[in-house]
Amino acid sequence: MAAALRGRAGALAFFAVAAAVPLAVRDQFFLDTLILILLWGALSAAWNVAGGYAGQVSLGHSAFFGIGAYSAALLSARYGQSPWIGMLIGMVLSVGAGLIIGYLSNRLRGPYFALSTIAFSQVLLIVASRWRGFTAGSEGIPVPFRPGFATLGLGHVAWAYLALALAALFYGIQVYLERSRVGYQLAGVREDEDAAEALGIPSRRLKVIAVTASAALTSVCGTLWAQYVGFVDPFYVFSVDLSIRFALNAIIGGLGTALGPWLGSILITALETYLRATFSGMKTGFAGIYLVIYGVALILVVRFVPEGLAGVAARLRARWTRAHA
């Protein structure tokens, strides 16, 4: 236990603060920001399982997000079923979709894999926005609000703890990937697939598993996000921009690190909230300004700080320990 916690003081502090905030703060704006930080971080953590740990960089993860969002929204809006059932169905569908994408990942490396994932999410976008009879097409679906835990009609504080539980679970999954045999094998595949294969690591199977697991986790977040926000718009949930955002948080926070997704999420969500407050008068320009900053930040981070915030923090800690040793 002690060994598992070593070097994780930052994560413990983060989760402790996240757990304390809803006790002290009742302001809906702050709680909303906290929930979004936790959810966006969890999404990036889900992406990180494939993109960071297995090195399968997807630019179409919004496909799984959308599957999760639609499964629960359609089930609760059309059949009055609990979104928890929708979450399970979304996971099953995403596992199916993840197996297809995972199979592709066996044959394709680098940009080819990214391209195929974009194409996949675009197919789902077109189906969701054109199949009017079932998905309500481009109008989107409002998610009915029914109070209660079974129907996910929760207040802000309950949502904050649900998002925190999700974040803690996903953090744990990533820590497992860092410390387990499977995790080391995945790192081997990521760094040099041919060498890993030569050592007898079943690289193909591992990549499929990583992509499929990542898909299922993304789908869970999609369900929760749709229930929290209360509306599913096909052009948002299946967009390339959304897929990029999952990757962005993970990269800025530190690709393939367990806390990185939330570090990135804090920075990006805070930036977005700040800019929203500052430029709220400019209706059309606003969205653009922070996305320009995202784009430029992405270029600068991959070039100059490829290890992300988590890497910078580790370097600073190492320097501090040396200075005080």
Partner 1 sequence: MDSARRLGPAQIGVLAQLGVSTVLLGGIYALIAVGLTLIFGIMRVVNFAHGEFLMLGMYLAFWAFSAYAVDPYVVLFVSIPIFFGVGLVTYALVMRGVIHASHNVQIFTTVGLSTALQNVALVLWTGDFRIVRPWHSSVVIRFADTAFNLSQVVAFLIAVALTVALFAFMKWTHTGRVMRATAQDGDAATLMGIDTDRVYRLTFAIGIAAVGAAGVLVAPLYAVYPTAGLQFVLLAYVVVVLGGLGDMVGAMLGSLIVAAVEVIGSYLFGVAWKEVLYFVLFIAVLAFRPAGLFGQRGAETLGA
| Residue ranges in contact with partner 1 by CB under 8 A | 55, 57, 59, 103-104, 107-112, 114-116, 118-120, 122-123, 126-127, 130, 240-241, 244, 247, 251, 255, 284-285, 287-289, 291-292, 294-299, 302-303, 306
Neighbours of 23 (CB within 10 A): 9
Rounded Cα distance between 277 and 229, Å, is 20
Instruction: Please say which residue, 280 or 284, places its beta carbon nearer to partner 1.
Output: 284
Instruction: Please say which residue, 14 or 290, places its beta carbon nearer to partner 1.
Output: 290
Structure tokens that stand for 206 in this block: 């591992």
Q: How far is the CB of 199 from partner 1 (least distance, A)?
A: 18
- Start-to-end C-alpha separation, the chain: 25
Q: How far is the CB of 86 from partner 1 (least distance, A)?
A: 25
Helix (H) and strand (E) counts in the chain? 16, 2
- Alpha-carbon distance values, 8 to 83, 119, 171, 310 (Å): 34, 38, 11, 11
Instruction: Please say which residue, 284 or 321, places its beta carbon nearer to partner 1.
Output: 284
Structure tokens that stand for 309 in this block: 């915030």
Q: How far is the CB of 207 from partner 1 (least distance, A)?
A: 13
Neighbours of 59 (CB within 10 A): 21
Q: How far is the CB of 248 from partner 1 (least distance, A)?
A: 8
- Alpha-carbon distance values, 13 to 165, 207, 246, 285 (Å): 15, 32, 23, 36
Alpha carbons within 13 A on the beta-carbon side of 197: 8
Instruction: Please say which residue, 46 or 114, places its beta carbon nearer to partner 1.
Output: 114
Structure tokens that stand for 239 in this block: 């967009």
Alpha carbons within 13 A on the beta-carbon side of 222: 40
Q: How far is the CB of 285 from partner 1 (least distance, A)?
A: 5
Instruction: Please say which residue, 209 or 251, places its beta carbon nearer to partner 1.
Output: 251
Q: How far is the CB of 300 from partner 1 (least distance, A)?
A: 8
Rounded Cα distance between 48 and 254, Å, is 9
Quick one: which of 200, 176, 180 has its CA closest to 189?
200
Instruction: Please say which residue, 148 or 285, places its beta carbon nearer to partner 1.
Output: 285
Instruction: Please say which residue, 123 or 318, places its beta carbon nearer to partner 1.
Output: 123
Instruction: Please say which residue, 86 or 140, places its beta carbon nearer to partner 1.
Output: 140
Contact 47, 255 (CB under 8 A): no
Rounded Cα distance between 303 and 27, Å, is 39
Q: How far is the CB of 292 from partner 1 (least distance, A)?
A: 4
Q: How far is the CB of 133 from partner 1 (least distance, A)?
A: 13
